[in-house]
Structure 1
Amino acid sequence: MADQNSPAGETGPPKGIPALKAHIIANKVDVALWGIRILTVLCTIGYVMPLFNNPVSAFYKALLANAATSALRLHQRIPPREISLSREFLARFFLEDSAHYLFYSLIFMNVAPNLLILTPIFLFALLHAASYSLTILDTLGQNSMWVARLLISLVEFQSRNILRAAALAEIVLFPVVALMALFGYCGLLTPFVYYYFVTWRYASRRNPYTRNTFRELRVLAERGAARPQLPRALASALRAAVQLVCRMAPPTEQVHQ
């Protein structure tokens, strides 16, 4: 029930620039994450359309921005007082999605730029930045920047497809990295290191999209291999590829622990 002593027409907390300043002071880390995610999006766009920047520089800036975002999220998820070198801490550390993507940035800091590498971090940054942008706009006022609100609503409406696209990019990047290693665009150990990243994403407790996408791809491959018009050699290759990927997957108990 509204306070009877409040002025007429006042229905909630104050809005506008003073409210935004107060929100920033009270939520410094969240606002910093929002800003860095926008920077990730802008750097990715700068890599694709290098109008005002060196595309190679924009590529590595996007990776650095993603690393900063992941480090801040880890700071939120794991307080400094809980950090140690124990086996239990390391196990908990690598269960965090933010740790996965901090590792992701480190993997690709010394490889030749490739748009597919930026695709997952761009999509995650776009989705999370859009979500928090609504909070910022609500602080300014319910009717502020309706065009921006419309664009943000479109992004959030497609959130499931965005997460699936990010998961697909993580998976497709694995054979691409292997080819890059063969042709000298990255180190020979990079595919082996990236394999651990993919297994962590498969076992993620907070984001099942990588695991679900693997299952969808397996069903698609098995259906394709069962088609009678498909050449026998290609069908056998598809089945062998499915069996290989299944053997490389983490144990079931690791995924559901």
Structure 2
Amino acid sequence: MADDSGSGSRNGTESNGPANNGAGDGPPQNTQSNPVLAHMMQNKVETTLWFTRIFTVICSVLFLLPIFGGNPYSFYQRALISAAATSALRMHQRLPNVQLNMDFVRRLFSEDSSHYLMYCIIFLNSYPMTMSLIPIFLFALLHACSFTKTVLNLMGPQSMMFVRNAVMKLEAQQVNILRFIASTEIFLMPAIVILVFSGKASFFLPFLYYRFLTLRYSSRRNPYNRTLFSEFRQAVEFLCSKPQCPQFVRNLCFSSIGFISRLAPPIQAQ
């Protein structure tokens, strides 16, 4: 906050000569009286990310609740395109210098932003699925909270209290939201398989999504996918171990667990 105000003062000082001319209503006072605008101008990348995330949230809501009319599929595509733009810009922040070597490729695919850039491309031209919008909607909502709090603080400590309270509630539920996102990522796979057999999705879609799921499973920054897989496995094994469970169901569940475990990528120690 101190750096922001300092930059605003420096900008005002630099433009004070030609624009002021002894008047008190020149550009320096406009900059000082609009700390939100000054902060946005000083942090253009973060502001752009904030706008793309808000646009993702709006398009996702309009797809689910088409209260203003229009084609819902267009809102579906706009939400994915906006989320893809967010991921691409975030990926550029994390890896600004492109290098043509395998080490850079490994670092590229270890970034969560590259995972969701792939995710958006996978679902962009596929049959619209409500489940596919849930992760990008919730991620956009969560990641927009920090910048929203900064904007609200610049507007004043009592400004838009309903928005401030909503942001605080979202942050308090961050772990539960991240777990729900991981659950959605996992259960999207059987949903995609059902779409393939119903003729509404390409045969290659499950293979592409499997690659995305393996990247999420081995993510260094977000361990919730791995955690949920482990918890689901423990829950299924606990239910199958009960005497009331039929033998064929037990055999089917353990065979499925073994098959899924073989598909899981090895996790390298960091």
Same fold at TM > 0.5: yes
1:229 aligned residue (244, 253, 265): 244
- Largest Rg, 1 or 2: 2
Shift in Å at residue 199 of structure 1? 0.4
Q: Which residue of 2 aligns with 1:8?
A: none
After superposition, the C-alpha distances for 1:69-108 in whole angstroms (9 at most, x for unaligned) are 00110111011xx202211111110000000000000111
User: Which of 80, 89, 106 is matched with 1:72 structurally?
Assistant: 89
User: How far apart, CA to CA, are the structure 2 residues paired with 1:237 and 1:101?
Assistant: 32
Aligned partner of 1:157 in structure 2 is 172
Amino acid at match of 1:78: L
1:143 CA drift (Å): 1.6
Change (3 A) 1:190 1:42: same
What is the alpha-carbon distance in structure 2 between the residues aligned to residue 235 and residue 57 of structure 1? 44
Q: Which has the higher contact order (CA 8 A, sep 6+)?
A: 1
**For the Cα contact (< 8 Å) 1:16–1:140, is it kept in 2?**
no
The residue type equivalent to 2:73 in the other structure is V
Residue among 25, 28, 37 paired with 2:41: 25
Partner of 1:169: 184
- Name the SS for the 1:144 alignment partner: coil
CA distance in 2, matches of 1:161, 1:16: 40
Identify which of 42, 52, 56 aligns with 1:40.
56
Counterpart of 1:74, as a letter, is M
d(CA) in 2 for partners of 1:165 and 1:176?
16
Distance 1:76 1:141 in 2: 30
Letter in 1 for 2:265: P
Report if the CA contact (8 A) 1:34-1:132 is conserved. Answer: yes
In 2, Cα distance between equivalents of 1:16 and 1:139: 11
CA pair 85-183 structure 1, distance change in 2 beyond 3 A = farther
The answer (yes or no) to whether the contact 1:16–1:139 under 8 Å persists in 2 is no
Number of aligned residue pairs: 240
> Is the partner of 2:124 in helix, strand or coil?
coil
What is the rounded CA distance, in whole Å, between the counterparts of 2:199 and 2:42 in structure 1? 48
1:140 and 2:167 correspond: no
Once the two structures are superposed, the pairs formed by residues 96-111 of structure 1 within 5 Å of their partners are 96-111=111-126
Q: Distance in 2 between matches of 1:24 and 1:76?
A: 17
TM-score, normalization by structure 2: 0.86
Instruction: Give unmatched runs, 5+ long, in structure 1.
Output: 1-13
Superposition CA RMSD, Å: 1.5
Q: Distance in 1 between matches of 2:209 and 2:235?
A: 24
Partner deviation per Cα, 1:103-128 (whole Å, 9 max, x = no partner): 00011112110110111111111111
Q: TM-score normalised to the size of structure 1?
A: 0.90
In structure 1, the residue corresponding to 2:257 is in which secondary structure?
helix
Structure 1 runs of 4+ off > 2 angstroms? 14-17
- C-alpha deviation, 1:17, in angstroms: 5.4
Measured in 1, the distance between the counterparts of 2:37 and 2:55 equals: 20
Q: 1:88 aligns with which of 98, 103, 107?
A: 103
Q: CA 1:244/1:45 → structure 2, altered by over 3 Å: closer, same or farther?
A: same
